[in-house]
Amino acid sequence: MSTNAVKMATRFGGGLFSSHGKPTNVQLLAQSFQAFKIQTRDIRPGSKPGTRPDSKPKQRFPDWFLKKERVQYNEGLTAENKAFVQEVVEDKFGPPAIIGGIATYKSPLKVEPLVRGEWTEKSRRTGVIARKIGVYPLWFKDGKKVLTSLLQVIDNHVIQYTPPGEFQQARKLEKALWKPNKLGCLLVGAESTDPQKFTKEYCGLFSKSGVMPKKILARFLVTPDAAIQPGTPLLASHFRVGDYVDVRGKTIDRGFQGVMTRWGFSGMPASHGVTKTHRRAGNIGSGGTKARVWKGQKMPGHMGNRWRVLRGLRIWRINTKYNVLYVSGQNIPGETNSMVYIYDTVLPLRKFKEPPPFPTYYTEYEENLPDDIYYSDVHQFSEPSIMFEENK
C-alpha cells in the first residue's frame, strides 16, 4: 500500500468507513440514545393492538430522507446583503460555471480515489442519474436506422457511502427470513444548486463530502469493492459504447383513463344499434359458479406515473463533452426532460464480459477520451455516404 493510500485510510478510518475497531464517541452517544428511543411500529388501521402482529414490515426511511424544501420568505435583504451571501456561497463551493451545457458550480473538491477494488463478475457498480433529453435516429454501417434516446448525465457526484453492515434496507423482511445484506449503499446527487434554496438539515447531508447541495438524490446498492470516494463526479464515461444498461423512470402521467386507452380494449361498434356503450369494457365476469369478478380484471383507472424499468438497452454512442449517452429505444419511461436512473443491466446474457471502468471513470487517472465515441457498427455523420459492395 502506498503512503498516500495509508493516509487516505487513516483519514476516513475514523468516520465514514469504520465498521470494525473501537467505537467512536459519536457512536457511543448514539448507542446511549438508542436506549431512550421509543419503538414505533406501523399498525394497519384494521389490526387491533394485542392481537397477532401483522406481517407488514416496518417503515424505515433512510437517513437522507429529510425535509428538503423550505418556505422562501421575503427576508428583506438589500442588494449588498444578497451579493455578500452569494460571495460566501462561491467562496465555499467555487464560482458558478457552465460545464457540459449545464449551469452548475465548480466544485473545489479534488481528492484522490479510494484504493480501487478489483472488478469481478459479482461486482455491482453504481448507477447514474440522467435526464432524458430527446430522441433522434442514428444509422448503422449496413444502412439500417435505429432510434436512440439521448440521456444526459447531469452533474452527478457521490455524496455518501454506507458500508453493508451499517446500511439497512428501508423495508426488511421478518427477522427469521432476513439475511444480512451484502451490499453497501452509495448516495448520489445530481444538479448542484444554491444551498439557500434548501433546508438546513438537507444541506447538512452534503457537508461531510463538501459537495454543493444537489436537487436530486438517488441511492445505488453496490458491492463493497465498488465503493467510491464521496465527492467524486460520475460522468457519461462511467459507461462504454456497446454496454447494455437498464433505465428506470417514471412513466408519463395520463390520469384516469378508460379501458381503451389503458388496456387497449377494442371498445364496441360505433353504430348498428349500439347505444351509450362505444368505449366501454363490456362484460367483466361470468355468472354461474364463479359469480364474482376475478382479481386482476382490467378496468378503467389511473394510468401512468409509475416507476418502470426498461432493460437491456445498448449504448451506441457517447458524447463525453456534454455527457450524453445514446441508448437504443424511443420508449424510455417518462417525458422529455424528466429524470431517469441508469444501471448496469441485470440481464444475464448482456452483463459485462470485460471489466468496465471500475468503480467508475476518473478523469484525472485515465487517458483522455474523444468528444464523440461511436460503437464500431454505427455510421458516423462525418464519414462519407454508405456504399454497398457488389455481392456475388
Partner 1 sequence: MAFGACLRTISREYRLNVCITSRLFSSPVKSTASTLPSDAQEQFNEELERKSVTPVDYRFTYPEFLPDPAFARRNTIREKLERMDMLKRRSQIDIPEFYVGSILAVTTSDPHSGGKPHRFLGICISRSGCGLRASFILRNVIDHQGVEVAYEMYNPTIQKIEVLRLEKRLDDELFYLRDALPEYSTFPQDMDPEIKIDGAAVPVNDIKVKLKPRPWLERWERKNLKGVQDLGLPERFYKRAEELATPWEKYDLMKQYRATIPEEEQAEIFSEVYSELHNMEIARKKLKKRKTFIKPKKSG
User: Residue 228: helix, strand or coil by DSSP?
Assistant: coil
Residue 236 interacts with partner 1 (CB under 8 A): yes or no? no
Kindly state the smallest distance separating residue 392's Cβ from partner 1, in Å. Answer: 8
Query: What letters, b where the CB count within 10 A reaches 16 and e where it falls short, cover 62-81?
Result: eebebebeeeeeeeeeeeee
| CA distance linking residue 101 with residue 19, whole number of Å | 40
- Per-residue binding string, partner 1, 147-176, x by CB under 8 A, is ---x-x------------------------
Length of the chain: 392
Among 124, 157, 262, 379, binds partner 1 (CB under 8 A): 379
- Which residue number, 115 or 146, has a Cβ lying nearer to partner 1? 146
Q: Applying CB under 8 A, does 137 fall inside the site for partner 1?
A: yes
Phi first, then psi: give them for residue 256, nearest 5 degrees: -75, 120
- Indicate whether 324 belongs to the interface with partner 1 (CB under 8 A): yes
Q: Does 87 bind partner 1 (CB under 8 A)?
A: no
Closest CA to 217 of 125, 154, 132, 152: 154
Decide whether 169 or 196 has the Cβ nearer to partner 1. 196
Q: How far is the CB of 101 from partner 1 (least distance, A)?
A: 5
The grid cell for 53 is: 402482529
Tell me if 80 contacts partner 1 by CB under 8 A. no
Which residue in the set 19, 207, 337, 363 belongs to the binding site for partner 1 (CB under 8 A)?
Answer: 337
Residues 6+ apart with CB under 8 A from 147: 135, 136, 137, 328, 329, 330
Complete DSSP assignment for 283-310: -----TTT-SPPTT---SEEES--EEEE
Smallest CA-to-CA distance from 18 within 186, 158, 165 is with 165
Q: How many Cβ atoms are within 10 Å of 220's Cβ, its own excluded? A: 22
Is residue 101 a contact residue for partner 1 (CB under 8 A)? yes
Which of 15, 336, 347, 366 is close enough to bind partner 1 by CB under 8 A? 336
Pairing of strands 255-257, 301-303: antiparallel
305 binds partner 1 (CB under 8 A): no
23 residue type, one letter: P
Shortest distance, position 273 Cβ to partner 1, whole Å: 27
CB of 322 to partner 1, least distance (A): 6
Per rule CB under 8 A, is residue 136 in the interface with partner 1? yes
To the nearest whole angstrom, how small is the minimum distance from the Cβ of residue 40 to partner 1?
43
Q: Does 121 bind partner 1 (CB under 8 A)?
A: no
Q: What is the Cα Rg of the chain in Å?
A: 26
With binding defined as CB under 8 A, does residue 96 bind partner 1?
A: yes
Task: Give me the residues that bind partner 1 (CB under 8 A), please.
Answer: 95-98, 101, 133-134, 136-137, 139, 142-143, 145, 150, 152, 319, 322, 324, 335-337, 379-391
